[in-house]
Copies of this chain bind each other. A is one copy, B any other.
Amino acid sequence: MNYQNNLSVESQLLKIFLRSQTKDYSSTEIEAGKEILSPEKPQQTIYFSLQGIVKLSRIDCTGRETFVGLLPEKSFVGLSLLLNKSQSKYCAIALTPVTLISTTVTKFQQKMQKSPELWTPIFYKLLSRSLTAQMTIESRLLRTSEARLVAFLLVLCRDFGVETDEGIKIELKLTHQTLADLIYSNRVSVTRILGQLQQQQTISIARQQIILHNPSILRQYFAIPSYSSM
């Protein structure tokens, strides 16, 4: 498990951003359900979330929304603007109330030029997010809704999992409808699958939070690839 490592990187980033906040950064509160970034409102802003969960998606040219990922607190939003100063094609929505600090692309670049050692934690953050994206790719290739749902729960363990005596608890309150949207299934199927998994005692749910009692057995049972960092 890689939680320890991730946590130390996150606290390092938090310190960096908070230290600079008085001069270059401003903090904003966003209500649940509200937009942070949208392709329709182009901006040159990079965000860092201090609290709350951000849902990333992309809108294709027919207007269809494709879910890309859930970002835990202490995540960057808009880093891709560094590659190309044009508009971001991401849509970032606050899934819960979110507190953000922000800076402009130009100020961010100036700061990184002055203090190149700050790239280290940002690099590790991005590397971790890349692995999550990779797992998401693979989870979508699974044929059954059961396997896709279990694989997605295992992906969520990476960012939201907390080790407890009973297993890995996903510290995230998701309705069955939201889970269904995230794995391209429907609410009825998700309710049925979660019910079956509970009956088999492979998971348990308390206050909308899911505990995976034995992730490695779940992975083997559903033939889900395992990651070195899980």
Q: Considering the chains assembled together, what is the distance between the CA atoms of A227 and B119 in angstroms?
A: 24
A130 at the binding interface (Cβ < 8 Å)? yes
Given contacts A61-B220, A223-B60, contact A86 B137 (CB under 8 A): no
A176 at the binding interface (Cβ < 8 Å)? no
A213 at the binding interface (Cβ < 8 Å)? no
What residues of chain B lie closer than 8 Å to A224, measured between beta carbons? 60-61
The count of residues in chain A whose C-beta lies closer than 8 Å to any C-beta of chain B is 51
Query: Which positions in A face B, CB cutoff 8 Å?
Result: 2, 5, 58-62, 64, 66, 68, 79-84, 86-89, 112, 116-117, 119-120, 122-124, 126-131, 133-134, 136-138, 140-141, 184, 219-220, 223-229
Between-chain CB contacts (< 8 Å), 9 pairs:
A2-B83, A58-B134, A80-B131, A81-B228, A87-B228, A112-B120, A116-B117, A130-B133, A140-B140
Given contacts A88-B228, A225-B89, A228-B87, contact A138 B58 (CB under 8 A): yes
Judging by beta carbons under 8 Å apart, are B140 and A89 in contact? no
What residues of chain B lie closer than 8 Å to A64, measured between beta carbons? 223
What residues of chain B lie closer than 8 Å to A127, measured between beta carbons? 79-80, 82-83, 126
Q: Considering the chains assembled together, what is the distance between the CA atoms of A100 and B87 in angstroms?
A: 36
